[in-house]
Structure formats: structure tokens, C-alpha cells
Amino acid sequence: MDLYVYFLLFLAGFAGGFIDAVAGGGGLITVPALLATGMSPQVALGTNKLQSSFGTGMAVWRYARAGLMDTPGLRLAVILAFVASMGGAYAVSVLNKDLLKQLIPWLLAAVAVYTALNRKFGIQAGPRKMSPVGFAVLFGIALGFYDGFFGPGTGSFWTLGIVALLGLDLKGATGYTKAANLASNLGSLCIFLTNGSVHFAAAGAMIGGQLIGARLGSGMVIRKGAGFIRPVFLTVVFAMTVKLLWDAWT
């Protein structure tokens, strides 16, 4: 690839890292950028997992320092998401994704509509409706596997579940979500690396942008809180819904 392509990948990594740190969905930018270079979908996905893990790791480190990683059950969710994502990445080779491609956009649309209509969603902490351990087991296994197998919207589903069932505000939910996302990214990345489905030069160009973008995005979350996260979250979920519907039905 030419030098200017690596520079464009750096910019894509920066934009993806910023958005991912705030509301998830950075893959809306980074995966198409990787595919545009001409690499195969498998290599693009593996490369995306590698570069996004660095940005997510930066966000997790920042959120941990800000005290957003003290939620009960988080460590269990991280462990289960890591293991389950490896199973999901392995299952890619033996299971059909067609049903998910058509179902997930509608689930994301429901998340977006629910969030838009519920103006108090995640603005303040609410009552806990599920035990932290039960939540960690259910969501860690289910969303960990899903992230390794298919992936789009994983962060949105985590955020919705955390706010609705654990009663955290959006700021706290973002910290929890990023830790779980990092675990499932690393788990599935192990499988992609084993299969040789990673373009290290492209990943290296994007990692620099990811680290800068994730640092800026996580800083905005820490300073501005739920009021800043909510509109970004809604925008990302709506954009992801439209893109996935277009991909599924065209």
C-alpha cells in the first residue's frame, strides 16, 4: 500500500477511536476504511480487532483511573466475554450469519427508539433490577460470543443492558462496556491471529490514531458525563442501524 493510504488509515483510526470511546460503533469507520484498501473481509475484521483493542485499552485505562471500573460483577463479565468471544470467532467458520445480518438491525433500531423516547435514559443512576453476578454471566457469555461471531452493535447492547438492568448512568455504563468490549476483542483476536487474518502494517498505522482518539474521547466522557454521551450514542446507533439494514437487504 502507498504511504498516503497508511495516513488515511491513521485518520480512520483516530475517528474510530474517539467515537468508540464515547459510545461504541467505531467500526462503522474503521472496517470500511480497511475494506477500501482491497484486503479480504476476514483480514479486515482481524486487523480491525487488533487496532481497536489498543484504542479500547486506552479508554479502559482512563476510565479505571476515573473510578468507573468498580462495578460489582465486572471482572466476571470480562472473563466470560473473553472466553465466549473465542468460541464466537471459531463458530464463524461453521455457522451461517445470514439470520443475524437481518435480525440485528431491527434490534438496534429498537435500542435507538427506546433511548430516544426515554429522555431520562442513563442520565442518572436508577434501581438495580438484576444481580451483578447474574448479569455478568448472561451478558458476558451471550455478548462475548456475539462479538466474536458477528460484532456490530455489541457496545450498544451492553450499554442498554447495564443502564436498564444494573441501574448505572451512561457514564458508568460506558466504563463497564469498554472493559467487556476489550475482553471480547482480545478473545476473538486470538483466533484471527492463529488464522493469520491480520495485516500488521495497516493495524500499526491505525493504532496511533486509535490511541489519540480514544484518549480524547474518554476525556470528554469523564469531564462531561451522560449529557455528552447520550446524543453521540443515539447518533451512532441510528447510523449503525441504517448501515446494517442496507447491507442486509441490498
The tens digit of pLDDT for each residue in 183-202 reads 999 999 999 899 898 999 99
Residue 77 confidence (pLDDT) above 90? yes
Number of structural domains the chain divides into: 1
Tell me the three cell numbers of residue 23. Answer: 459510545
pLDDT: which is higher, 23 or 176: 176
Q: How confident is the model at residue 12 (pLDDT cuts 50, 70, 90)?
A: very high
Question: In the prediction, which pLDDT does 52 show?
Answer: 93
pTM: 0.87
What is the average pLDDT across 171-178? 93
Tell me the three cell numbers of residue 246. Answer: 442496507
CB neighbours of 220 closer than 8 A, spacing ≥ 6?
Answer: 22, 228
What is the average pLDDT across 172-180? 94
pLDDT over 70, % of the chain: 98
Question: In the prediction, which pLDDT does 93 show?
Answer: 66
Residue in 113, 90, 53, 106 with CA at minimum distance from that of residue 242: 106
Q: How many CB atoms lie within 10 A of CB 212?
A: 17
Tell me how many degrees the CA angle 152-118-105 measures, rounded to the nearest 5: 25
Average pLDDT, the chain: 89
Q: Under a CB-based contact definition with an 8 Å cutoff, are residues 183 and 147 in contact?
A: no
Tell me the three cell numbers of residue 81. Answer: 466475554
Coil, strand or helix: which one is 10? helix
What is the average pLDDT across 223-249? 84
Give the domain extent around 224. Answer: 3-249
How confident is the model over 92-149, as pLDDT tens digits? 767 776 766 777 788 888 887 877 777 777 778 888 999 999 999 999 999 999 998 8
What is the average pLDDT across 13-34? 89
Tell me the three cell numbers of residue 115. Answer: 433511548
pLDDT: which is higher, 226 or 70: 70
Task: 97-101: list long-range contacts, CB under 8 Å, 24+ apart.
Answer: 97/149, 97/150, 100/149, 100/150, 101/150, 101/244, 101/247, 101/248
What is the average pLDDT across 34-48? 89
Widest Cα–Cα separation across the chain:
53
CB neighbours of 196 closer than 8 A, spacing ≥ 6?
Answer: none
Question: Amino acid letter at 91?
Answer: A
Tell me how many degrees the CA angle 198-202-204 measures, rounded to the nearest 5: 95
Residue 234 confidence (pLDDT) above 90? no
Where do we find the cell 463479565?
A: 77
Q: Under a CB-based contact definition with an 8 Å cutoff, are residues 240 and 233 in contact?
A: no
